[in-house]
Amino acid sequence: MANTNETVHLRKRQRTHGGYSLYLDIYANGRRNYEYLKLYLVPENTRADKTKNQETMRLAEAVKAQRIVEIQNGRFGFDTPKMSKINLFAYWDEVMERRKKADSTGNYGNWYSAKTHLLKYAGTGDVKMADIDKKFCQGFKDYLRTTETKSGKPLSQNSRNSYFIKFRVFMQTALDEGIININPCAGIKPDKQSEEKREYLTIDELKTLSQTPCDKDVLRRAFLFSCLTGLRWSDVNKLTWSDVREQDGFKRIIFRQKKTQNLEYLDINPQAAALMGDRKDDSVRVFRGLKYSMQMNIELQRWCLTAGISKKITFHCARHTFAVMMLTLGTEIYTVQKLLGHRELKTTQIYADILDKKKQDAVTQIPQVL
């Protein structure tokens, strides 16, 4: 290489279930990066295993040779003239605003909070994309573990993970858009997500709530509609009459989930249909006047308290209520998966686990009889 301080080493790391993963340890342009090749050596139990490993090593060596050439030609890592002009936080704002159009309001808030912590970690807003290396990325993850909220409490594990995942997505976006040539955040994984308590209403509580007056009629109708359909806030909020069809005596909603962008077909029962009211023009929102605000959340909590429900209920609890209710009524879990629009069955399985816990709680209440 032209500069003896620039090095590329092919290294391997042992995997927990046997064999090794291959990666490049690269020092160039004054920074160290690790490029994980997604190439793996398997335990050599047979001649075929040995042959496969030889092919894998030849491919890894070819990638290493390519990186060496890139360094020699000055094309490795960051494009210095371009990168030196791009501010980290200006680019973050650009990515965040673009995602705002595709994501929910709550997710946008998470992006904004992640930026706030990133700015606090960096200590200055004058950070260039070229300044971000492996050490910076790991440092941000470590910072999230130790920082505190305004009330002096540590960030929750799920908040830490959410903010760091946003940072990882941001860096991957920079790679995809050609801002950087290697993602220094690759290989730094978020901590394991802790299991959140999923609050929900029982069928009896739902009946009581439906018979309790609510000062905000649109909130009452939208929340109960979500309890009876499982639709998320974002999908209820953007629902228009063009999404509502008549199908074999049922009202059917055909919509694209805002979170997953999957096209969904959902038949709704007469109770849910009644909550929508009379049909309007196709472009009109079904739940006009429904807005995401602190006041709306307070009103929802006040309504629940008036009904004698002391649980901390948010609008998303309606979706949990629907899932638990369906399983309680004996609906097969694969059907519940389809009704909720879950991609993975394991996501729906969480609600089945909740029911198991309810059964365990019930049997522990049996009085001493022996």
DSSP string, 40-97: EEPP--SHHHHHHHHHHHHHHHHHHHHHHHHHHTT-SS--HHHHTT-BHHHHHHHHHH
**Within-domain flag for 315:** yes
Residue 23 bridge partners (DSSP):
11, 36
Q: Please report whether residue 369 resides in a domain.
A: no
Residue 187: inside a domain:
no
The label of the residue with tokens 């001493």 reads: 368
Assess whether pLDDT exceeds 60 at residue 181: yes
Contact 187, 171 (CB under 8 A): no
The residues, ordered by sequence, that sit 6+ positions from 248 with a Cβ below 8 Å of its Cβ are none
Is the same domain home to 68 and 107? Answer: no
Task: Give the pLDDT confidence score for residue 170 in this predicted structure.
Answer: 92
Answer yes or no: do 268 and 211 share one domain.
yes
Please provide the average confidence, as pLDDT, over all residues in the chain. 82
97 shares a domain with 70: no
* Cα distances (Å, whole numbers) of residue 142 to 52, 138, 150, 155: 38, 6, 18, 12
Burial class (CB in 10 A: 0-12, 13-18, 19+), 264: middle
Is residue 87 located within the same domain as residue 65?
A: no
Q: Own/partner pairs for 351-359, CB < 8 Å, 24+ apart? A: 351/198, 351/320, 351/323, 351/324, 351/327, 352/327, 354/198, 354/200, 354/324, 355/324, 355/327, 355/328
Residues 210 and 340 in one domain: yes
User: Residue 369 has which token pair?
Assistant: 């009889």
- Asked whether residue 41 is assigned to any structural domain, the reply reads yes
330 and 219 belong to one structural domain: yes
Q: Confirm whether 121 is domain-assigned.
A: yes
Instruction: Specify the pLDDT at position 267.
Output: 84
What number of other Cβ atoms are within 10 A of residue 206's Cβ? Answer: 20
Q: 73-85 burial string, b = 16+ CB within 10 Å, else e?
A: eeebbbbeeebee
Q: Choose between 249 and 87: higher pLDDT.
A: 87
Same domain? For 163 and 218 the reply is no
d(CA 271, CA 259): 26
Contacts of 177 (CB under 8 A, 6+ apart): none
Note the pLDDT of residue 348.
76
User: 126, 141, 176 — which closes off a domain?
Assistant: 176
**350 and 286, same structural domain?**
yes
CATH of the domain at 230: 1.10.443.10
* Among 147, 141, 157, residue whose Cα is nearest residue 189: 141
Determine the pLDDT at residue 15.
83
Please tell me whether residues 282 and 357 are part of one structural domain. yes
In this predicted structure, what is the pLDDT of residue 101? 63
Q: Are residues 213 and 278 in the same domain?
A: yes
- CA gap 28, 361 in Å, rounded: 59
pLDDT at 73: 60
Q: Which of 127-131, 172-176, 362-366 has the lowest mean pLDDT?
A: 362-366
Instruction: For residues 136 and 98, state if they share a domain.
Output: yes
Q: 306 is written with which tokens?
A: 């008036």
**Antiparallel, parallel or unpaired: β 20-28 and 7-14:** antiparallel
Residues 6+ away with beta carbon under 8 Å from 288: 218
Predicted confidence (pLDDT) per residue in 42-101, tens digit: 898 898 889 989 988 988 888 888 778 767 665 555 444 455 578 999 999 988 888 776
Query: 23 near 13, Cβ under 8 Å?
Result: yes
Query: Is 166 within a domain?
Result: yes
- Dist. CA 53–CA 18, nearest whole Å: 13
Q: What is the pLDDT of residue 1?
A: 46
Q: Is the pTM higher than 0.75?
A: no
Q: 197 versus 94: which is more confidently predicted?
A: 94
pLDDT at position 292 is 75
Both 169 and 27 in a single domain? no
Domain end call among 77, 98, 126:
77
- 49 part of a folded domain: yes
Residue 67's domain comprises: 7-77
Domain count, the chain: 3
In a domain, 198, yes or no: no
Instruction: Take residue 233 and report the two structure tokens written for it.
Output: 């806030």
